[in-house]
Amino acid sequence: MTIIVQLYKMNFRTNIQLQKERNQIDYTSKLMLIGSCFSENIYKKLNYFKFNAVSNPFGILFNPIAIENLITKAINEEIYSEKDIFQLNERWHCFDAHSDLSSSDKNELLQNLNETILATNKQLKEATHIIITLGSSWVYRFIETGVIAGNCHKVPQKKFLKELLLVKEIIASLENMCVLIKDVNPLINIVFTVSPVRHLKDGFVENSQSKAHLLAAIHQITDKRNKLYYFPSYEIMQDDLREYRFYNSDMIHPNETAINYIWEQFQYVWIDEKIVTIQKEVDTIQRGLAHKPFNSNSEQHKKFIADLEKKRKDLQNNYNIKL
C-alpha cells in the first residue's frame, strides 16, 4: 500500500502586497516631510542617500490640525509676533512649534519662527513630493485662547481640554491642506501615511480610536488622479511585522529592523528603480566615510581615501549629489 504524503508550504506571516506608484522619486525630486516622529525616520533614510529633502520645519507635529496650521501660515506668509509666544521655565515657546525651536531670547524665537515660515513657503512651492505623517487624532486645546496646540511645552495639563477629533473634522483639515498646497503647487504629489508609533499614554482603546479616525479620514480624500496618495506604514507594522521583536524596549516605537523594513517597502513603491545603482554608490561612499582605519598613515588607507574622493566627485559632477 502506497502512502502519499502531501506537503503544504506553511506561511507564518502575512505580507502586504504593494504596487509601484507613478510620479516616483529620483535625484531630481524635491521632497518635504511633515508630521510625527516616524516622518523623521523616513527623512533620515532619504538624507543618508542624499535625496533633496527637508523635514519638519516646526519640529515634530502629531495631529492634523497642527500640520494644517503650519501649512496655512506658511502659504499665507503669516508673521509671528509677541502675542503668539509665551514664557515658561525661563524659555520662550510657541504652541505651533516643537520645543526644539524654543529659546531663552524671545526675539530669537520670533526670528526663527518667521524665517522658518518664509523658508517653508518656498519649499512648499518648489517640492515635487510632500509626505505627511499623521500621528494622533487626540488634540489639546488651550482653554485660555481655544487654540489647538502642536506642542504643549509642559504647560500644566489643567490648562488644556483634551479632545478626540471627529473623522469629519480630520477630513476637513486634510482637504484644506491639499487645497492650500495645490493652489501654489498644482503638480505636487501628496503622500499621506499614519505613524506606526503607538500612543499608549492615551490608552490602548484610545490609541485604536485615534488611528481609526486618521485612517478613515485619509481614505476619504486620497485620489491618485489628483496625486493624493496613501502609503501603509501603519499596516506594514501592524499586519505584516506584528511582533514585539520589531519594537524598541519601550514597546511603543518601531526598532531599527522595523524601520529598515518599512523603508524597503517605501523604496519599492516610491523610489524609481532606475536610480538604485546610484543609491548603491552613495551607500558605498557613506560607509567609506564612516570607516575608522587602523592606521590612517598607511599607503593602503591613503589609496582608499583617494578612491573614495574620486567616487564622491564623480557623483557630484554626474548627478549633482553632494557628499
What is the rounded distance in angstroms from the CA atom of residue 236 to the CA atom of residue 319? 32
- Mean pLDDT of all residues belonging to the chain: 93
Does 272 score more than 70 pLDDT?
yes
Residue 294 has pLDDT above 90, yes or no: no
Region of poorest pLDDT, from 104-113, 121-130, 301-310: 301-310
CB 178 within 8 A of CB 217: no
> Considering only the top CATH level, what class is 30-271?
alpha beta
Q: Domain segments of the chain: what residues? A: 30-271, 274-323
Minimum mean pLDDT among 112-126, 268-282, 298-312: which range? Answer: 298-312
Confidence band for 2, pLDDT divided at 50, 70 and 90: low
Instruction: Report the DSSP pairing between strands 86-88 and 52-55.
Output: unpaired
pLDDT at 291: 84
Per-residue model confidence (pLDDT) at position 1: 54
Range 237-242 contact pairs with CB under 8 angstroms and sequence separation of 24 or more: 237/196, 237/262, 238/196, 239/14, 239/16, 240/13, 240/14, 240/15, 240/16, 241/13, 242/13, 242/14
pLDDT-based confidence at residue 13 (cuts at 50, 70, 90): confident
pLDDT digits (tens, 9 = 90+) for 19-41: 999 999 999 999 999 999 889 99
Tens of pLDDT, residue by residue over 301-315, are 888 889 889 999 988
Q: What pLDDT is recorded for position 11?
A: 67
- Give the bridge partners for 31, in sequence order: 53, 129
Residue 10: the pLDDT is 64
Model confidence band, residue 292 (pLDDT cutoffs 50, 70, 90) = confident
Instruction: For residues 46-69, give the mean pLDDT.
Output: 97
Q: Would the CA dihedral through 284, 289, 292, 296 be positive or negative?
A: positive
The confidence score (pLDDT) of residue 5 equals 57
pLDDT surpassing 90 at residue 51: yes
Q: What is the pLDDT of residue 133?
A: 97
Long-range contacts of 186-189 (CB under 8 A, 24+ apart): 187/128, 187/227, 188/124, 188/127, 188/128, 188/129, 188/130, 188/227, 189/23, 189/128, 189/129, 189/130, 189/227, 189/229
- Predicted local confidence at residue 245, as pLDDT: 93
In 3D space, the residue among 150, 227, 222, 145 whose CA is nearest the CA of residue 185 turns out to be 227
CA distances in angstroms from 320 to 9, 10, 105, 245, 305, listed in the order given: 48, 48, 38, 39, 20
Give the pLDDT confidence score for residue 297 in this predicted structure: 80
